[in-house]
Structure 1
Amino acid sequence: MDYNEGYVAIVNPTWTRICKENSFSEVNMWLRRANFKAISQGSPIFFLEKGSRLIRGYGIFDKLVVTSVVSAWNTYQQANGAKSLDEFLRTLNLPNDNVSYNISLGCVIVKNVTWLNQDYLLNNLE
């Protein structure tokens, strides 16, 4: 593991809740773009919950997979941070209500996820 780099990902509170409630140890931190070059494979990713400045968990960046929406759902299901395919589509917040199963997503696969049971405020970390 490379501790010289890491990434703080701003994640949706619903994504966090669903993934944490299910105790997923591998999650899809999906992107509406097909690239992710922020860190190298094996580096840590920290989940910063949007709007709260709280670190909710962390894991290790495993790989980037570019795939369709439906393939991402079929592969990762609720580890996408949604309870159903319809909810997943709504969460993607596609412009102009352009709902399509064929849109490509960047699936940032995070493994060895640890969910935190206490609050870690980002500006309290030293």
Structure 2
Amino acid sequence: MQLFVAVTDNDWFALHASKQSVDEVNFWRPSPEANFKVLQPGELLLFKLKSPNDSIAGGGFFTRFLQMPINMAWETFGEANGVRSLPEFRSRIARIRNVTMQVADNPNVGCIMLAEPFFWPKSEWIPRPPEFAVSNQVGKTFDSEEGAGRRIWDAICERLKRSPASLLDQDTATVAAIESNGFGKPQIVHPRLGQGLFRVLVKESYSRKCAITGERTLPVLEAAHIKPYSMVMRHEVSNGLLLRSDLHKLFDEGYLTVDPQDRRVVVSRRIKEEFENGKEYYRLEENVLREPTEPWARPSLENLEYHAYNVFR
């Protein structure tokens, strides 16, 4: 397993560490040309604080890297960006880039999205390893199976075992990492997603197109839960559909569903009965659902059955 020890802004860390719980963070990079290909989903990015702290103080499980406009990154993650407001976000990026940024400017920012983050108290911080040069202002990759990487991993694992109970539930990335003992590739356990990551991953899995109509106007596309979140208490891409906002509303209220077997749209007669309208929606009847190419992201049969037989009427 690879570990990436990333130089981390002290203020960014302090805001997250001040909260009682954080379920996702955006470890952003200010450059619109930024990229990140170091980690696979499920591997660890660790927060190495700048001087005078100069210690590894926490981390999170890598989920996805995307370039996103600043406004969209704020709308998606809010304070999970490590700032209190959109103006502060814009100001901090402008300061790092050494440019003047107007209120209407909306350039891209590199988003390294992390799930199941952890922030240790100072007594738990790991001193900067000697192999991590003081002059390094970006980060360094370590192999958790050998040398310095093994020492870092052992220290991390010891601390992960003391994580809050929610992160030690079955099927979390935290448990998968502990059980791997740092060897091999990450197990195929997707980190427990926060709401922002769920929205991003659903949008990307559906190639930013409505699953029913193919609509590509991003501001009107929403990530819908197939089985209500209040029942499953987890954000899982296989329980999501990317829908145009009006279809999302109708789906949630049981006016339309997807046949679990043939994956075709079914529209309730209630629309005509209750509103004496609905021609636009009846035209969608029998449309085949546009599903993600990745098997793990496709709507599960169980979730579709629940909606068709319990929500739709």
Question: In the alignment, which residue of structure 2 is the partner of 1:28?
Answer: 26
Distance in 2 of aligned mates of 1:49 and 1:27: 16
Question: In the alignment, which residue of structure 2 is the partner of 1:95?
Answer: 98
* Structure (1 or 2) with the larger CA radius of gyration: 2
Distance in 2 of aligned mates of 1:88 and 1:74: 12
Question: In the alignment, which residue of structure 1 is the partner of 2:42?
Answer: 42
1:86 Cα deviation after fit: 1.3
1:62 Cα deviation after fit: 0.5
* TM alignment of 1:75-114, pairs within 5 A: 75-92=76-93, 93=95, 94-99=97-102, 101-114=105-118
Please state whether the residue corresponding to 2:39 is helix, strand or coil.
coil
Higher relative contact order at CA 8 Å, sep ≥6: structure 1 or structure 2? Answer: 1
Q: Quick one: percent identity of the two aligned structures?
A: 26
Residues 12, 50 of structure 1: 8 Å contact kept? yes
Question: Is the alpha carbon distance of 1:59 and 1:110 closer, same or farther for their aligned partners in structure 2, counting shifts above 3 Å?
Answer: same
Please state whether the residue corresponding to 1:96 is helix, strand or coil.
coil
Question: In the alignment, which residue of structure 1 is the partner of 2:65?
Answer: 64
Residues 70, 101 of structure 1: 8 Å contact kept? no
- The residue type equivalent to 1:58 in the other structure is G
Kindly indicate whether residue 96 of structure 2 is the aligned counterpart of residue 120 of structure 1. Answer: no
1:42 Cα deviation after fit: 1.4
Please state whether the residue corresponding to 1:6 is helix, strand or coil.
strand
1:53-107 CA distance string (max 9 Å, x none): 1111111101012210011011111110101111111221233213454211111
Residues 90, 101 of structure 2: 8 Å contact kept? no
Computed over aligned residues only, the root mean square deviation of the Cα atoms, in angstroms, reads 1.8
Q: 1:8 aligns with which of 5, 11, 20?
A: 5
More helix by share: 2
More strand by share: 1
With structure 2 as the length reference, what TM-score do the two structures score?
Answer: 0.37
Residues 10, 50 of structure 2: 8 Å contact kept? yes
Residues 91, 101 of structure 2: 8 Å contact kept? no
Residues 68, 101 of structure 1: 8 Å contact kept? no
Distance in 1 of aligned mates of 2:84 and 2:36: 25
Distance in 1 of aligned mates of 2:82 and 2:88: 9
Distance in 2 of aligned mates of 1:96 and 1:114: 32
Residues 64, 107 of structure 1: 8 Å contact kept? yes
Please state whether the residue corresponding to 2:99 is helix, strand or coil.
helix
Is 80-89 or 25-34 further displaced after alignment? 25-34
1:97-125 CA distance string (max 9 Å, x none): 13454211111001111111222212387
